[in-house]
Structure 1
């Protein structure tokens, strides 16, 4: 008789964790769509290239701080040592969903407090040039999305973890594979981000600051991520790293 309440509590916990994972994912999707509008200067009330509201130096300091907050959160919570510490306080199946949620909230803060800075670096008025750059911008987002599904979209965003927990199954690391774009570059996801961040017919100072800082962050994050992948997959990933370029297809010197 004393065991029944405990069984119900465990069952309820699994349902709550699963719902938490779904909510975290939905928030991510909303932020993902918002990011496209933010960088493309459509729909959203304040975009990356909106009119400046405060002095340039103050705006620059705020924007660098916002990007720094995202970079620290995104990298720190992805490290294995942090995960080991963090899962002492939360259910382990919630760890990835929490990472996704916190990353989404960090981006939300960035979009909310972002300070446009004015100033035009380049402005392409030619219709053909604008179409090409906007097409490459769109291609970047498509590459990002496709890359996540090639490596297992649902594991990457925590849904697989909470689903397995709901079913009472243990989580297992995915088998290392190199499907599609991963045969040509090790990080097609980041290639997509580069297109999304840099391909614009109108580059303002604010947009340039955003693109430069995020590019530097990505190049650093790749090094940290690959160290983790080597720990997980060992010689398999080492061989892959030797054979496939990091970001630029067919250029061995960029491995």
Structure 2
């Protein structure tokens, strides 16, 4: 019964995490005005900016703390280890929904090429390409392990959990973190860039960069020289930017 409950918990966490990603994508797409981050400004500029900084900091701190091995080991002393990843996904999803829902509009227009069909459609193609790269990359790693379902499923089937192997193929041949690259492309490729959208893109891109540095330290500890050799050959976040 306990194992069934853990698997059910992981399914609920997965659905919340996946929904939060869709909500995030739609919020920056400007395709559904009701949930767009580009709403009319309500707070004075400086207060809105501070609020947005706090939301990004909260989101980033949660990811950085809960993704570390020290936290995972501490978690396992109190709760079943198989639900650790699902708990990370659940809290991340709830905080991402909070980040998007509470993002304070700032007003102001940086660029708008939506009236130029060629540029408008080209940028939307890049936008959806970025998010497609993010989702495809999650399956290249192991989508269900990344979202915590594999861990509780193996426990349900009374099978031991085996860590994922280090493999370099597909997008990973060109960039070490295609998940983050896809997110960055999705955030910046927009026909209408407002100050609201710009600060959102800057804030989350900064988180991607900082989070990547922490993640790389863990990967070096786990895979050693194998990962160090990979670092030397492959760009971190933007493909084809690694100097030979």
Structure-2-length-normalised TM-score: 0.96
Q: Which residue of 2 aligns with 1:58?
A: 47
Offset at 1:175?
Answer: 1.0
Distance 1:75 1:44, change over 3 A: farther
Structure 2 residue aligned with 1:161: 151
Structure 2 equivalent of residue 186 of structure 1: 176
Does 2:49 align with 1:74? Answer: no
**Is 1:142 matched up with 2:163?**
no
5 Å matches for 1:218-233? 218-233=208-223
Q: 2:32 & 2:50 partners in 1: Cα distance?
A: 26
**For 1:177, which of 167, 174, 182 is the aligned residue?**
167
Q: Return structure 1 stretches of 4+ with deviation > 6 angstroms.
A: none
The Cα of 1:247 is off from its aligned counterpart by 2.5
TM-aligned CA distance change 1:136 to 1:186, over 3 Å: same
Q: Which has the larger radius of gyration?
A: 1
Does 2:79 match 1:86? no
Residue 84 of structure 1 deviates from its aligned partner by 1.0
> Against the structure 1 CA distance between its residues 228 and 39, is the aligned structure 2 distance closer, same or farther, given a 3 Å change threshold?
same
Displacement after TM superposition at 1:53 (Å): 1.6
Structure 1 residue ranges without an equivalent (≥5): 1-11
Root mean square deviation of aligned Cα: 1.3
Query: Quick check: 2:107–2:194 contact (8 Å CA) kept in 1?
Result: yes
Structure 2 Cα separation of the partners of residues 51 and 44 of structure 1:
11
Q: d(CA) in 2 for partners of 1:80 and 1:40?
A: 35
SS at match of 2:78: coil
TM-score of the aligned structures, taking structure 1 as reference length = 0.92
Q: Distance in 1 between matches of 2:128 and 2:60?
A: 24
Question: Mind listing any 5+ residue stretches in structure 2 that lack a counterpart?
Answer: none
Q: Quick one: which of 22, 26, 35 aligns to 2:15?
A: 26
